[in-house]
Amino acid sequence: GAVVSQHPSRVICKSGTSVKIECRSLDFQATTMFWYRQFPKQSLMLMATSNEGSKATYEQGVEKDKFLINHASLTLSTLTVTSAHPEDSSFYICSARDPDRGNTIYFGEGSWLTVV
Amino acid sequence: QKEVEQDPGPLSVPEGAIVSLNCTYSNSAFQYFMWYRQYSRKGPELLMYTYSSGNKEDGRFTAQVDKSSKYISLFIRDSQPSDSATYLCAMSRGGSYIPTFGRGTSLIVHP
């Protein structure tokens, strides 16, 4: 089946620094990728929708200057958390839409971010 | 009222039981319905994907969609301890593919 890879799976960074998370679709070209945030025992919270070659569409309440999203190719989207603070610590998950499989959406394995 | 309602559980069943997981929704524009399984500290894994009303079976899993009642179900037959996870329903409109997720139901299958 389709595979979406996310890297790193875990990252610890110091407060004030920036961290980049990569999301790759390994066996299909994803015109659209989505970034989610998930708190413990909570559902997925959509942060932004990323379309290849264009600016990301952010959900209400998500700071676009803090969560920078780049979708430079059909197989790669990146999320950069800038000037991270402890409250940014969370589980970040990307997903990608496969247009050749009925627009099915596949998820990455997720990335645990801890800001200390 | 949320667009998608899902009981968070936990739902605890003995091994071998038939499990029924459900979601209700309010938006009649939803056309695509999905079920994902999420193990702790992992990304969701797609289990079932259906379009419009009807049933779909895949191994021990059966997905049902009743658009007239705005109700979808996932049945798991012969449940196993390895099925213990959170199950998320998701649905999307025909013309827009951003899925709306339920909050997930925690399932515990005990030996």
pLDDT in tens, B7-64: 999 999 999 999 999 999 999 989 899 999 999 889 999 999 888 888 999 999 999 9
For A27-51, what is the mean pLDDT? 90
CB nearest to B42's CB, from A44, A105, A110? A110
Q: Encode A77-89: b = buried (16+ Cβ within 10 Å), e = exposed.
A: bbbebeebeeebb
Residue A33's nearest CA partner among A54, A55, A53, A48 is A48
Q: Which amino acid is at B96?
A: S
pLDDT at position A41 over 80: no
pLDDT band at A65 (very low <50, low <70, confident <90, very high): very high
User: Which residue stretches of B3-109 are H helix?
Assistant: none
Contact B32/A46, CB-based, under 8 Å?
A: no
pLDDT band at B95 (very low <50, low <70, confident <90, very high): low
Interatomic CA distance for residues A91 and B41, integer angstroms: 8
- Any CB–CB contact under 8 A between A11 and chain B? no
pLDDT for position A12: 97
Interatomic CA distance for residues B35 and B49, integer angstroms: 7
A41: left (phi over 0), alpha (psi -120 to 50) or beta: left
Instruction: Kindly calculate the radius of gyration of chain A based on its CA atoms and give it in whole angstroms.
Output: 13
pLDDT band at B110 (very low <50, low <70, confident <90, very high): very high
- Any CB–CB contact under 8 A between B59 and chain A? no
pLDDT for position B111: 94
A11-25, B30-44, B88-102: the lowest-pLDDT one: B88-102
Please count the other Cβ atoms lying within 10 Å of the Cβ belonging to residue B15: 13
Q: Which residues of B touch A97 (CB under 8 A)?
A: 97
Q: Show the CA angle centred on residue B17, arms to residues B60 and B87, nearest 5°.
A: 60
For A1-27, what is the mean pLDDT? 93
Q: Which residue has the higher pLDDT, B94 or A48?
A: A48
Q: Which amino acid is at A105?
A: I
Put the strands of the sheet holding B71-76 in their side by side order. B4-5, B19-25, B71-76, B61-66, B54-58
Contact B41/A32, CB-based, under 8 Å?
A: no
Q: What are the φ and ψ backbone dihedral angles of A107, each rounded to 5 degrees? A: -105, 150
- Tell me the shortest Cα–Cα distance from B94 to chain A, in angstroms: 10
Interatomic CA distance for residues A25 and A70, integer angstroms: 14
pLDDT for position B93: 86
pLDDT for position A54: 84
Interatomic CA distance for residues B13 and B83, integer angstroms: 11
A34-43, A59-68, B4-13: the lowest-pLDDT one: A34-43
- SS3 at position B69: coil
pLDDT for position A72: 82
pLDDT at position B108 over 90: yes
Tell me if A32 sits within 8 A of A104, measured CB to CB: no
CA distances (Å), origin A65, targets A92, A110, B61, B96: 17, 22, 43, 26
Tell me if A32 sits within 8 A of A46, measured CB to CB: no
